Amino acid sequence: MNTLATGLSFAATPLVAGLFDAPVGVAHYLVVGAILFTSGVVCMALKRNALGVLMGIELVLNGANVNFVAFSSPYLRGEGAASLGLDGQLIALFVILLAAAEAAVALAITLNFYNNHATVDIDRADDLKG
Amino acid sequence: MMSSGVILLPGLVAAVATAVPLAVVNWHSVLFLLFAAVACACAVAVVLADNVVRMAFYLVLSLASTAGLFFLAGAEFVGAMQLMIYVGGTLVLLVFGVMLTAQAPFVAIKTSAGDRVLAGMVGAALLAVLLQAAFRVESWRRPAMAAVAAPAATPIGMALLGVRVDEPAAGVPAAAVRSGYLLPFEIVSVHLLVVLVGAAYLARAKRRRTPRSIDVAASSVGPVVTAREAARSSASALVSGGGR
């Protein structure tokens, strides 16, 4: 048991040291944003529950917000022409506000759909099919 | 499972302790890794979960961790707004939607296995492209620490009022880039008002009319009720009966 623990510690030492020493750059934030975005797209395409599709949209918007904030961050991009400056944060704020508006309308539509069809399965929303 | 965790945990702690003395730990990186891991894991869990209530819970955790990432990036006002508007408002709205529609057959709607495999392949391809783009630019991998970043709440508030008080980027003429955000702010505020009125109108409770005597007389000899209308009225009766 002890040998396993020490072996693990030796194996993990360079990896852990690299993780905890390396300063965070914009690329790290971009990776987080990419994972959030991809999860949101897959969620939108995969879920059959209308509220699941809504949650996918929230994830996509949030991934975009992570990128905006990362590119406007003074810690990551410094001051100057490389940084988006305050504009990135303002755009992120507008995205948050519009996401709130979008969620309210989409939820109202979902409730209406549920009232009319007694289900939230979006595969059943085929009234317009010829 | 339990015993392997008991064995692995001291190993991990020893690895961390031997690799990094506590004094030189870059706490910014550690906190970033913590928040990023929670955000990404919960986002993936939203996709993998079938139960819509659990999906909402994982989404709350993911968005709250993203607010932590915003704080770490120096955007404390955006992080606070993320917590207040997104986690406190939008997701509460979503959870209400889940509760209003959580009849037993709709809590967990399964997706077919073929669709899952296809979506996984498409998602992996998209993620590969995005990750390649993220690591392509050399200067994005290292931080460019500004000496001290001032709190951004006041400049944001002034920019929303149409006055930019932050320093313009070096080498760029000041008048070219510094635009205020008064007009977008007004547009968004009116947009929010219109959207909320419209949402309240769309989702209003539809009252059934009390049948008047003339309607009752007409319906007794009236046209044949189609099966769809019968199903719709029974569904709305079910909903209004459940809501009261």
- The CATH number of the structural domain formed by A26-124 is 1.10.287.3510
B79-99 tens-digit pLDDT:
999 999 988 888 888 888 888
| Kind and range of the H or E run holding A110 | helix A86-117
Residue B243 lies in a domain: yes
Which pLDDT score is estimated for B194?
94
CATH assignment of the domain containing B52: 1.20.120.1200
Q: Mark yes or no for CB contact A75/B19 under 8 Å.
A: no
Q: What is the ipTM of this complex?
A: 0.84
Higher model confidence: residue A105 or residue B228? A105
Q: Is B80 near chain A, with CB under 8 Å?
A: no
Partner residue opposite B97 with nearest CB, options A12, A20, A51? A51
Are the C-beta atoms of residues A75 and A98 closer than 8 Å to each other? no
Whether B18 and B101 share a structural domain: yes
Cα gap A18→A28, rounded to integer Å: 14
Q: How many domains does chain B divide into?
A: 2
Please report, for chain A, the start and end positions of each structural domain, with discontinuous segments joined by +. 26-124
Cα–Cα distances in angstroms (integers) from residue B159 to residues A89, B154, B164, B171, B185, in the given order: 11, 9, 5, 21, 10
Mark yes or no for CB contact A96/B82 under 8 Å: yes
pLDDT tens for B95-150 read 888 888 877 777 777 888 888 999 999 999 999 999 998 888 877 777 766 555 66
Per-residue pLDDT band at B243 (split at 50, 70, 90)? very low
Q: What is the CA radius of gyration of chain B?
A: 27
pLDDT band at A56 (very low <50, low <70, confident <90, very high): very high
Instruction: Tell whether B29 is covered by a domain.
Output: yes
Residue B211 placed within a domain:
no
Phi and psi at A2, nearest 5°, equal -65, -40
Task: Give me the sign of the Cα torsion angle B182, B188, B190, B192.
Answer: negative
Lowest-confidence region among A21-25, B52-56, B162-166, B230-234:
B230-234
Write out the two tokens for B26.
């870059």
The reply to whether B16 falls in a domain is yes
Domain with B67, as residue range(s), is 11-110
**Chain A partners within 8 Å of B152 (Cβ):** 86, 89
A59 and A37 Cβ atoms separated by less than 8 Å = yes
